[in-house]
Structure 1
Amino acid sequence: MPDTLTATLTQTRPADRTSPFAPARRERAALVAGAAVGAAVLLAAARATQAGFLLPAMSRDAWLAVHLCSVIPALPLGAVVLLGRKGDARHRLLGRIWAVLMLVAALSSFGLKGLTGSFSPIHLLSILVLVSVPRGVVQAVRGNIAAHRRTMTFVYFGLVGAGAFTMLPGRLLGLALFH
C-alpha cells in the first residue's frame, strides 16, 4: 500500500492562477522590477560616463568592465526570455545567451571587492548563480520545465536584486545616480 503522506506530497495539481506566486504573476513581477532596475542602471551608467568616471574606472579595472558588459544586457534579455514564447528555438537561443551572460557576471564579480576590499555578502549571490544556472539548464534538458521555470525566474530576481544593490550610496552606480 503506498505511503499516503508521500502520495500527498508528490501529488501535482494545476497552478492556481489567482495566487500571487503563480508563474505568470512571478514573471510579470520580474519584468516590472527588472525594467525599473535596468532603467536605473542605464541612467547611472550614462551619468557616470557623462561625469567622466565610469570609463576610466572600467579601463583601470578589467573585472568591472567584464562585469558591466555582461550584466547590463542580461537585465533586458532575461525579461525577454521570461516573457516570450517558451520552448521554441528563439527561447532556447536567447536563454543560452542569457545563461552565459549570467555565468560571466557571476564569475567576474569575484574580481570586484570595492566596498570592503574583500568579498561581501553579495558574492553569495554569485555562488548561487554559478549553481542555479547549470541546474536550470539541466532541468530543461531533462524535461522538468516547471522546475526550470522556477529556477530561472529565481535567478532573474537575484539579478534584479543585485542590480538594486548597486544603487546604494557609496557604490559606483549609486554615486552616479544620486549625485
Structure 2
Amino acid sequence: MTATTLTLAPAAKPAARQSFDISPVQRAVIGVVGAGFSVACTVAITRAIGGWAPAHPGAQELALLLHITAVVPAVPLGAWLLLTRKGTPRHKQLGKVWVALMVITALSALFIRQIIPGSFSPIHLFVPLALNGAWQTIATARRGDIAAHKRALVRFYLGALMIPGIFAFMPDRLMGTWLFG
C-alpha cells in the first residue's frame, strides 16, 4: 500500500450578493421623514381618540378610516424595512405586509373625494403611481434585480407616502385638523 496525500482546494468564496444598502443621504432622509410622519400620525390620532381634536366630517367616512388604518402603520414599517438588514425571512415577510398596506391605501384613496366633492382631485394621481410602485417592488424582487428593487422601493416610499402625506396634514384635511386643530 502506498500512502496518498489528499490536498484540499481552498473553499470557494460564496458569490457576493448585491448590496441593497441605500446611500447615507437616503438613509437620513428616510429616517427623518419616516420618524417625523410617524410622530405626527401618532399625535394626531391620539388627539382625536382622546377628544382633544376638533370634529371633522371625514372621520365618519369608511373609505377614509380604512385609508388611515392602512397608511399609518405603513409609514414606520416602510422606514424600518429600508433602514434595517435586507434579505432576511423577516424582511421578506414584513415587506409583503408593507406592500399589501400600500395597495389598500391606494385603492381606498379612490373612494375619498373631499378636495373636489364627488370627483377625483390631483392627489388621486398618486393612486396609479402607488399601484405601479407596488408592482415594480414585487417584480424586481422576484427576478432578483436588487438594484432596481432598491430604486423602486425608495421612490415608492418617498413618492407614494411622503408627498401625499404632506397634503394629508393640510389644515382642512382630517389629519391636519386632528394634529393642528
Q: Same fold (TM over 0.5)?
A: yes
- Alpha-carbon RMSD across the aligned residues, in angstroms, is 2.2
Give the aligned partner of residue 4 of structure 1: none
- Number of matched pairs: 159
C-alpha deviations, 1:112-165, integer Å up to 9, x for none?
011211211111111101111111111011011011111111111020222221
Residue 25 of structure 1 deviates from its aligned partner by 2.5
Runs of 4+ that moved beyond 6 A: none
Extract unaligned runs of 5+ from structure 2.
1-18
CA distance in 2, matches of 1:163, 1:39: 13
| Amino-acid identity (%) | 39
C-alpha deviations, 1:82-137, integer Å up to 9, x for none?
01111111110010000000000000001101121121111111110111111111
- Write 1 or 2 for the structure with the bigger share of helix: 1
> Which one has a bigger Cα radius of gyration?
2
Contact 1:168–1:174 (8 Å) recurs in 2:
yes
Residue 57 of structure 1 deviates from its aligned partner by 4.5
Amino acid corresponding to residue 177 of structure 2 in structure 1 = L
Contact 1:140–1:148 (8 Å) recurs in 2:
yes
Give the aligned partner of residue 82 of structure 1: 82
CA distance in 1, matches of 2:139, 2:116: 35
Contact 1:136–1:151 (8 Å) recurs in 2:
yes
CA distance in 2, matches of 1:121, 1:23: 31
Secondary structure in 1 matching 2:32: helix
Residue 24 of structure 1 deviates from its aligned partner by 4.0
> Are residues 1:141 and 2:135 paired?
no
CA distance in 2, matches of 1:24, 1:130: 27
CA distance in 2, matches of 1:135, 1:62: 29
TM-score (norm 2): 0.80
Secondary structure in 2 matching 1:87: coil
Amino acid corresponding to residue 146 of structure 1 in structure 2 = A
Secondary structure in 1 matching 2:87: coil
Extract unaligned runs of 5+ from structure 1.
1-14
CA distance in 1, matches of 2:28, 2:143: 26
Give the aligned partner of residue 125 of structure 1: 126
CA distance in 2, matches of 1:41, 1:84: 22
Give the aligned partner of residue 169 of structure 1: 171
Residue 64 of structure 1 deviates from its aligned partner by 1.0
CA distance in 1, matches of 2:138, 2:145: 10
